[in-house]
Structure 1
């Protein structure tokens, strides 16, 4: 028996926001002071660090739960699954449904319940619940799904990562340019084929690191002080990720019994190009190797950081041949890895 991803799907919003669209923004430091240089310089520095040139924002008439459904429908169709046969619907997100021009997050009923409702699934034994695990939420959902299946509690699970970060960003914060929207979905099920999930690793670092990503007030002191936005300590996150993610990936690979030489692809959370490159280099350095060519598919340049959606969206694009010079073949050993608010880290070694 193996536990495999049998179908993938994604939703990439149609609204493209380019770096040039931020030239008229008024950016402030966290203490409310103005930047010492102009926006053109700020944006150039941002591009050199993050690799982001544009990002996708949700259409005004859509919410997180609705794009989760679109991605789910594609994954269900790709897997040939009858929706009524799903045992679990696991939806990873962080902010629920935040309607356009609305300040409140709506999470009752849960996003998973809304997805089940919109999929028109009648079976009450199909259980839907949400995962709040920062950016590694989709990977954690897959880890939970394989645990349910391995324990005999399920045969098929729908695991979704969906987020609309554009609804919770502070337009006066330079870091707001990192974030984007999107959804990715997978059907995970018991399979007679070999391969699938070989090993996993998860960790939460909260003693000193819990508030590296948090909800805080606007950088603009004149903005309403009772409204909160997504905030982060970029330097702390970079140092934390570089220290801990490569070690988690190495541990996970060792648990799988596979060699670094077997590894064909790494699907890493599209957080920051410079950070991701440094993590991959450190990971291979732990094995005394240089990074092979084309081992890491990347979408951050065009799609930005859509949190829980980045890894499943990346997988779906590669599976469907939509990223140049990136493909998967049966039997390929791959790693999914992520880091995010919590601070949480996880990884999966998977045989495609």
Structure 2
């Protein structure tokens, strides 16, 4: 059987660090309040002249180097993002130019924080059906540009960065075992960016009304996230005849420590088998899982034959999981 096997990982984060103590000077909050409720201590923020494509490019190059692959060998390049450089062209096309992936078909995919899982699932299908042999899948965000820095309910949550994987067609039982995607558009208003689309286009009034920034009903999102991530995680395992005990490492979307803990409890996966970097980076949306995956692999947390479970939830509402045998 042909599977899509991860042969390289990479990530890139801004150098600029914004700590909770920095935020105390900007909005009415405190380090203790933020850590207690979210688990976040600091996040990385893009500097002037840095864009989503900046971090996506570097993450891609590092993944290619790790895979021992050349950019011209890539025939599919997908970026999961809700903060592209421009509404169009796709940021994937900009990254294509940057890394010289001249033979790749390129597009962006929007599924908010589930974006990387959706992009991974799409690339895996291309490989399984024989339409691609080597794919580059990236999750990349510069959320600091769509966050209202006067809103303490949201500004403390998000950070910037990118992660990437190289997928290659391979025979055998190693690779992406299955992916599982779900959506519920009935609740799209719980988490969305109000402005800059066709409904509320760029205008001085919409700028004055702060519609360019994202808005979230955090408590409602929390409830849906815990249930959905728990269910789809079990779905991925059950589909492949796996049990919780078979999982070597669980990498959930890094949104909130309480969500991660609650999902782990539902699944029966303890902290010792869960990779968390939320405290250092905050919620990087579609970038969070590939950044964590790259860190975990380079730290020796993932070894040949390990079963890795990826699990995400985002605006839309969207959620998804992937079971991978390394």
Q: TM-score, normalised by structure 1?
A: 0.86
| Inter-partner Cα distance in structure 1 for 2:119 and 2:101 | 20
The Cα shift of 1:244 comes to 1.6
2:201 aligns to what? Answer: none
**DSSP-derived class of the 1:275 partner:** helix
**DSSP-derived class of the 2:260 partner:** helix
| Inter-partner Cα distance in structure 1 for 2:185 and 2:101 | 38
188-197 or 335-344, larger mean C-alpha shift: 188-197
| Inter-partner Cα distance in structure 1 for 2:227 and 2:171 | 38
Q: Which structure would you say has the larger Rg?
A: 1
Question: Structure 2 matches for 1:301-316, cutoff 5 A?
Answer: 301-316=279-294
Deviations 1:234-257 (Å, cap 9, x if unpaired)? Answer: 000001012221011111110011
2:318 pairs with 1:330 = no
| Inter-partner Cα distance in structure 2 for 1:70 and 1:255 | 35
The Cα shift of 1:265 comes to 0.7
2:145 pairs with 1:161 = no
1:273 aligns to what? Answer: 257
2:68 aligns to what? Answer: 80
**DSSP-derived class of the 2:311 partner:** strand
Contact 2:183 2:316 in 1 (8 A): yes
2:325 pairs with 1:351 = yes
2:243 aligns to what? Answer: 259
The Cα shift of 1:171 comes to 1.0
2:190 pairs with 1:212 = yes
| Inter-partner Cα distance in structure 2 for 1:22 and 1:71 | 28
Deviations 1:261-307 (Å, cap 9, x if unpaired)? Answer: 111111100000011111110122xxxxxx33511011011111111
Q: 1:46 to 1:226 in 2, by over 3 A?
A: closer
Contact 2:52 2:141 in 1 (8 A): yes
The Cα shift of 1:2 comes to 2.5
| Inter-partner Cα distance in structure 2 for 1:317 and 1:16 | 18
Structure 1 unaligned blocks of 5 or more: 28-38, 98-105, 218-222, 285-290
Deviations 1:151-185 (Å, cap 9, x if unpaired)? Answer: 11111110000000011110111121100000001
Question: Structure 2 matches for 1:1-352, cutoff 5 A?
Answer: 1-27=2-28, 39-40=29-30, 43-97=31-85, 106-123=86-103, 126-174=104-152, 175-207=154-186, 209-216=187-194, 224-225=208-209, 227-284=211-268, 291-321=269-299, 327-352=301-326
| Inter-partner Cα distance in structure 2 for 1:259 and 1:282 | 13
**DSSP-derived class of the 2:189 partner:** coil
**DSSP-derived class of the 2:44 partner:** strand
The Cα shift of 1:193 comes to 4.7
1:36 aligns to what? Answer: none
Q: TM-score, normalised by structure 2?
A: 0.92
Name the one with the larger helix percent: 2
Q: Runs of 4 or more off by more than 3 Å in structure 1?
A: none
The Cα shift of 1:44 comes to 2.2
The Cα shift of 1:147 comes to 0.3
| Inter-partner Cα distance in structure 1 for 2:27 and 2:37 | 20
